[in-house]
Structure 1
Amino acid sequence: MNLLQALFFPPEQPGGVSSMIPYLQERFHSSRWDMELFWLPKRIRGKGTEEVVFETFDWTPYGDSPVVQKYIQTYRDYLWWTKLRLNKHYDLIHAHHPIAGLAMKKVFPDVPLVQTFHSSYERELILNGKIAENGPEHQFLTSIYRELEHVSDRLMTVSRNFADYMSHYTDNPERIQVIPNGFDEKRFKPVPHENDVPQLVTVTRLVPAKGIDVLFRACAELKQRGLEYVLHIIGDGPSRADLENLARSLGIYNETIFYGYTLHPEEFMPFFDIFVLPSRAEAFGSVFAEAALSCLALVGTEVGGIPEQIEDGVNGLLVQPDDVTALADALEKVITDPSYRYELSRSAWEKAKNQYSLTRIANELKKTYLQIKSEAGK
């Protein structure tokens, strides 16, 4: 079977898709399967000029919005690049971004399309203060779910929570399939180590939706309680300068290390002790699975797909988003009790290895692809 995995970002871009799809390719390498990856290079901007018409809604009433204008132009660019670069036959296309799926169905209308939603662009924009809830941009972006439901042979997402979210914007929510992201176990090698001072780490894009401001305030409480720690921030983003200033104002700058963007954080993540990310929204939260496979204790928020990975008190700790004191209390538990920390990390490692292994996810995808191809051939 000739497969095309249609991405939006290049494979080296951080995120759940990039932590799975490039490694998935080798699992499909056989005489029976041929998988190709495709994405829009960053240098392609303003090339597309094609008229855009959707089948389930009229986008033009939202066209005055700069956010919508950028989305539509990016779709045009993806169309232009796809027509320029792809001219072979595919048996099935699996798209991992709405723009990729819309463009692929336009160029290859007769090829079965699987569409996976890995995150919610509109929720991130709302949480980051870029658009208003129920505003024109929000209405436009949520209309895309029904459009893709209309043109796709199968809708998929990465958590039951996000499937429930999508159900408000689709006609047949019972048909949404949930397959979580998978992770190549060979990339993660837990390392026995002893740190005199507990090492906290987070790996994330520095935007308001990730709640790093809440983490800093919780760490300031830990310092006031007389607890020692070091906090490692791996990632970059538009909030970095504000967060550095916040760390200074809270008096925790000396305990906080900003690394910026790092391509393969899993290579040194096993040397830390505790992974913490107090997100305000997550469709799945791939980085929690990656931290679990590195055998770290997990502390997260009860949002999105995170509770599907973490059972509070069993393989990690959960708190409500924006609750500084609760986050500080959870961190204090794992900082002050190394034995408890080890129990949580071991349980997290076992669950992640069993449920999110790339081998298991690859097998689920193979069954899905064969089923859709069979249905399309009838």
Structure 2
Amino acid sequence: MNILQALFFPPEQPGGVSSMVPYIQESFLEKGWEMELFSLPKRVRSKGTEDVEFETFDWRAYAGHPIVDKYIQTYKDYVWWTRMRIRKSYDLIHAHHPIAGLVMKQLFPDTPVLVTIHSSYEKELTLNGKIAPGGPEETFLTSLYGELEHRLDGIVTVSRSFQTYLSRFVRNGDAIGVIPNGFDERRFRPVPHDNAVPQLISVCRLVPAKGLDVLLRACSELKRRGHPFVLHLIGDGPIREELERLAVELNIYEETIFYGYMLHPEEFMPFFDVFVLPSRAEAFGSVFAEAALCCLALVGTDVGGVAEQIDDGVNGLLVPVDDVAALADALEKVMSDPTYRYHMARSAWLKAKSTYALSRVIDQLQKLYVSLGRGKP
């Protein structure tokens, strides 16, 4: 079969989708399949001019709102770029973003198009204070799920909890498949080490939805309790300066290192002790699986796909969202007992190897591609 993987972000971008799909391509190529990657470059902006039409709702009812207008223009740009670059046909197109999926079906109506929805743009925007809950922008974005169901040949998502979320916006939620993300184990190499001071690490985009303000306050409480630590924050984003000011105000700036953007944090991660990320929402939370494959103890919030990865008290600890005291208690527990921390990290590593291996994703995708595609493997 000849398959196109249609991304939104270029594959060199960090994160669950972009860091996983090139390894999927590599695995299928090794099996003798044909597979190509396609994405919208950052330089392509405001090129598209074709009208956009959806079949299940009129997007013009939401025009004039910045998020909606930007989304529609990006849709037009994706159409323009696709027409410019794609000159051949495929047996199946696997999209990894609603825009990519809808554009591909518009331009290649006779080709089976499958979409994996990796996260909720409207949830992220709401949690980051960009749009109001229940407002027109959120309604526009959630209406796209019904459009995807109506026009595409299949919808997949990355966790059972996110499948439940999406089911609110489609007619047949049971038809949405679940394939959790998978990771090439060769990228992750645990390193035996003995840090005299517990090393905490978090890897994410610096936005309110990730709850890093809660993490900094919890670390301030740890310092008040007399626990030494170093907090390593890898990633960049719009609230970096705000977080740095908060670290100063909380008197933990000397214990906190802001690294900024890093393309391959998994090469850095194995030398630390505890991975912690108090997200306010996560469809899957790929970075937890990556940290587990690096044999780190995990501390996260009881939300979405994170709660499906962490069995509380077995291979990590879960705390309620926005609960500073609970997060401080959980960190204190894993920091103060190296043996407990080791066994928890070991359990996380074993579960990640058995549940989130890339080979499992390849097997599931291969069956799905054969069932939907018009070619032969």
TM-score by length of 1: 0.98
What is the number of equivalent residue pairs in this alignment? 376
Aligned to 2:118: 118
Q: Distance in 1 between the 2:279 and 2:183 partners?
A: 21
Asked if 1:317 corresponds to 2:317, the answer is yes
Written as runs of structure 1 = structure 2, the 5 A alignment for 1:1-378 is 1-30=1-30, 32-373=32-373
| DSSP 3-state at the match of 1:169 | coil
Q: Distance in 1 between the 2:348 and 2:201 partners?
A: 16
Q: Distance in 2 between the 1:221 and 1:290 partners?
A: 27
Question: Deviation string for 1:134-190 (max 9, x for gaps)?
Answer: 100000000000000111111000000000000000011010000011100000000
Q: Distance in 2 between the 1:40 and 1:81 partners?
A: 7
Query: Structure 1 pair 285/171, CA: closer, same or farther in 2 (3 Å)?
Result: same
Deviates more, 1:34-43 or 1:18-27: 18-27
Query: Structure 1 pair 192/30, CA: closer, same or farther in 2 (3 Å)?
Result: closer
* Deviation (angstroms), 1:19: 2.0
* Deviation (angstroms), 1:98: 0.7
| DSSP 3-state at the match of 1:28 | helix
Question: Deviation string for 1:241-296 (max 9, x for gaps)?
Answer: 00000000000000000000000000110000000000000000000000000000
- Which runs of no fewer than 5 residues in structure 1 stay unpaired? none
| DSSP 3-state at the match of 2:373 | helix
Q: Distance in 2 between the 1:305 and 1:227 partners?
A: 30
Question: Deviation string for 1:61-100 (max 9, x for gaps)?
Answer: 1001011000000000000000110011100000000111
Q: Distance in 1 between the 2:244 and 2:31 partners?
A: 52
Q: Distance in 2 between the 1:155 and 1:63 partners?
A: 27
* Deviation (angstroms), 1:13: 1.1
| DSSP 3-state at the match of 1:50 | coil
Which letter maps to 1:20? M
Which letter maps to 1:155? I
Q: Distance in 2 between the 1:278 and 1:67 partners?
A: 26
TM-score by length of 2: 0.99
| DSSP 3-state at the match of 1:68 | helix
Tell me how large the CA RMSD over aligned residues is.
1.0
Which letter maps to 1:196? A
Deviates more, 1:14-23 or 1:262-271: 14-23
| DSSP 3-state at the match of 1:349 | helix
Deviates more, 1:245-254 or 1:29-38: 29-38
Which letter maps to 2:279? S
Q: Calculate percent identity across the aligned residue pairs.
A: 69
Which letter maps to 2:317? L
Q: Distance in 1 between the 2:253 and 2:12 partners?
A: 30
Question: Deviation string for 1:189-241 (max 9, x for gaps)?
Answer: 00000000000000000000000000000000000000000000000000000
Q: Distance in 2 between the 1:196 and 1:167 partners?
A: 48
- Which runs of no fewer than 5 residues in structure 2 stay unpaired? none
Q: Distance in 2 between the 1:219 and 1:299 partners?
A: 13
Which letter maps to 2:161? N
| DSSP 3-state at the match of 1:29 | helix
Q: Distance in 1 between the 2:239 and 2:301 partners?
A: 20
* Deviation (angstroms), 1:30: 4.3
Q: Distance in 1 between the 2:31 and 2:258 partners?
A: 46
Q: Distance in 2 between the 1:131 and 1:146 partners?
A: 21
* Deviation (angstroms), 1:373: 2.0
Q: Distance in 2 between the 1:30 and 1:43 partners?
A: 32
Which letter maps to 2:228? E
* Deviation (angstroms), 1:32: 4.1
- Moved beyond 3 Å, runs of 4+: none
Q: Distance in 2 between the 1:272 and 1:41 partners?
A: 34
